[in-house]
Amino acid sequence: MARDSARVEAFSDAVIAIVLTVMAVELLQFGPDTPKDKGLAAALAHEWRSYLAYVITFAIVGQIWLTHHNMWRYVVRVDQMLLVFNLALMLFVAAIPFTANQLSDHLRGTDADQQLSAALYVGTVLGEALFFNLSWWWARRRNLLHPDLDPRLAKAVARRYRLGPLLYLIAFAVVFIDPILSLCAYLLLVGLYLIRGPGDLPSTART
């Protein structure tokens, strides 16, 4: 028997909140090679890569939360497989602080280290994007969505979700040109998703 989605949303919100907290602890700190004898300004300037990774990754996780919130507004029931897909999604979300930390640490390393850390990073965001697609596909297939949801809107949401993996792969390809430019590409993608699209909440409250 299928259940309502309230517990799934509460669990997912808790995971994302913990991820954001852990990410701040991982990235907003001085590393062992930070110069401590040149003053605070020099120490902060030395860690600019970590701060850039933090801002971009916070934006990515924030976009994940927004997308998850918007998607689950339409899910009225859950079954076992949808729970599994959501757990897999949270698996990748929970790994984001680790991969973001590796990326910030190796942006000043060798080309091989930069590319490997970027591959780990894109693997996590690509994984969550794929499981977003699987979750929406399964919810539509198993009639777990609100019965009044317009099928045309459901298809439009699916098309928008399918763009995610492709855009993340494009951003990853940029790392072979410039790792910093690749990070900026991720931020641009987040900006695109912040533009209201099919399935998102309305821009203004309706009475």
At residue 30, the pLDDT reads 64
At residue 90, the pLDDT reads 96
For residue 78, pLDDT beyond 90: yes
CB-based contacts of 174, cutoff 8 Å, min separation 6: 181, 182, 185
**pTM of the complete model beyond 0.75:** yes
Q: Which of 45-49, 71-75, 88-92, 101-105 comes out lowest in average pLDDT?
A: 45-49
**Within 10 A of 5 (CB to CB), how many other CB atoms are there?**
21
What mean pLDDT is predicted for residues 194-203? 62
Measured in residues, the chain has a length of 207
Backbone torsions φ then ψ of 150, nearest 5 degrees? -65, 125
At residue 106, the pLDDT reads 77
For residue 138, pLDDT beyond 90: yes
